[in-house]
Chains A and B, each alone.
Chain A
């Protein structure tokens, strides 16, 4: 938010609170309704101001977010790489299991013969 935007937001705040206080100074529902309409207008202006302020982004931010996203991808890739060791051992187990099945089958066939 620029200093001017901050000053405007502060001015809205002061006006908004002053109007809110006015609500307690009358029991006329018509007047209370008029005050609320003014508050509603100020609120719309504030929403516009907030949207504008948060839509801005710097070049430094863009490069920081790209770098962190790349490093996050690197971390995911590195995890896969580390996981490969465990997977390799598991894969070898499966190969040995298959070999065992083959030998077992061969043993049965030999016994029948």
Chain B
């Protein structure tokens, strides 16, 4: 009987797959891209915490050194170490508006994605086929029960027609409910998305992350130069000229790379702003009942491109061996020939 059900299912699926309606893939993709960008923002907050802790430890480290008089030796204490803490601990972080806005955007993106995926045609078709398979089994049982008096209630043709009808009604109903809900939710959410994206970007600006990162990167570079000078003063390079050159070359590369960080950050802000503008395009399209319009396709494509460029750029910075400058004075990765885009 199971074999019959499987074969029958295949026939029905084949019969009804020809009239599949357009899925709301664009909205799903949009939500996915938004979720990834809000994740990237969350990482920036984490990175900010980590960078600040690192800088506090670096300054503390330089205050500990071997003195000629042991009585003058500065020793590390538990209090001193405990005083160094995250700018935002895990509890404090959750109360921040940037974190809450980011989480809200992420939750929203996840919820509309789940809604767009709900009651998909294929799932309803599978359920319809399953139900018709059950009816077919019932028919076989009735045949056993009635024996010679048996007259078929449903032949295969009728069962196929029932499956197609259930599928059609179910899918149309699900599609209609889904579109109606998405239309209302996306349209109503639009002004709030703009406002929250604005809060996230404004608060990222308020972090002064670029300036702080630049300061800490500059301080780290100067500490490395200080270490180099100290090694020279101690005569560590006297018999090792190659090692001295190697260290100098490393310092030079780090000096070049130092400028690049802020670009990565700008890229994130541009990508975040695009969440609001692309959502606005989708809201406009769905308010006109255009669930697979060119506007939505373009909006999603733009957002995905921006995220991809951000990912590529981040990857390039991490793996870049030789940083240079283009004619506009912007940093570029020479070995990858990748140039960060300023396109909004």
A4 at the interface (CB under 8 A from B): no
Q: How far is the CB of A96 from chain B (nearest CB, A)?
A: 4
Give B95's nearest chain A residue, CB to CB: A55
CB distance from A53 to the nearest CB of B (A): 5
Cβ contact of B131, chosen from A1, A51, A69, A89, cutoff 8 A? A89
- The one of A10, A53, A74, A90 that contacts B130, using a Cβ cutoff of 8 Å: A90
A50 and B64 CA atoms in complex are apart in Å by: 27
Within the complex, which residue of A6, A65, A86, A92 is in contact with B101, where a contact is CB–CB below 8 Å?
Answer: A65
B contact patch SS: helix
8 Å CB interface, B49-89 against A = 52, 55-56, 59-67, 74, 83, 87-88
Interface residue ranges of A21-46 to B (CB < 8 Å): 21, 23-24, 27, 29-30, 32-33, 35-37, 39-40, 43-44, 46
Chain A residue total in the interface (Cβ 8 A): 66
Cβ of B188: which chain A residues have Cβ within 8 Å of it?
67, 71
In the bound complex, do residue B181 and residue A57 qualify as a contact, i.e. CB atoms below 8 Å apart? Answer: no
Contacting residues, chain A, for B199 (C-beta < 8 A): 61, 64
| Band of interface residues on B | 35 or more
Min CB gap B215→A, angstroms = 5
Residues of B within 8 Å of A24, CB to CB, are: 222, 225-226, 229
Contact with B along A73-89 (1 / 0, CB 8 A): 01110110111011001
Q: Quick check: A78 and B138 within 8 Å, CB to CB?
A: no
* Whole-angstrom CA separation of A76 from B55 in the bound complex: 43
Contact of B62 among A32, A57, A110 (CB under 8 A): A32
A94 / chain B contacts, CB cutoff of 8 Å: 134
Is A60 positioned at the interface, with any CB of B under 8 Å from its CB? yes
Residues of B within 8 Å of A40, CB to CB, are 56, 59-60, 63
Q: Which residues of A contact B144 (CB under 8 A)?
A: 103-104, 107, 111
Instruction: List residues of chain A with CB within 8 A of the CB of B131.
Output: 89-90, 92-93, 96
Given contacts A1-B208, A23-B226, A86-B127, contact A61 B195 (CB under 8 A): yes
Residues of A within 8 A of B (CB): 1, 6, 9-10, 13, 16-17, 20-21, 23-24, 27, 29-30, 32-33, 35-37, 39-40, 43-44, 46-47, 50-51, 53-57, 60-61, 64-65, 67-69, 71-72, 74-76, 78-79, 81-83, 85-86, 89-90, 92-94, 96-97, 99-100, 103-104, 106-107, 110-111
29 contacts across the A-B interface (CB closer than 8 A): A20-B223, A21-B222, A24-B222, A27-B232, A46-B212, A53-B206, A60-B195, A64-B191, A65-B192, A68-B196, A71-B188, A74-B181, A74-B184, A75-B108, A75-B185, A76-B115, A78-B115, A78-B178, A78-B181, A79-B114, A82-B115, A86-B119, A89-B124, A89-B131, A90-B127, A96-B138, A103-B145, A104-B145, A107-B141
Beyond A64-B199, A100-B137, 12 additional pairs, beta carbon < 8 A: A27-B229, A29-B66, A29-B230, A36-B62, A40-B60, A51-B92, A68-B104, A72-B108, A75-B112, A76-B114, A100-B134, A111-B144
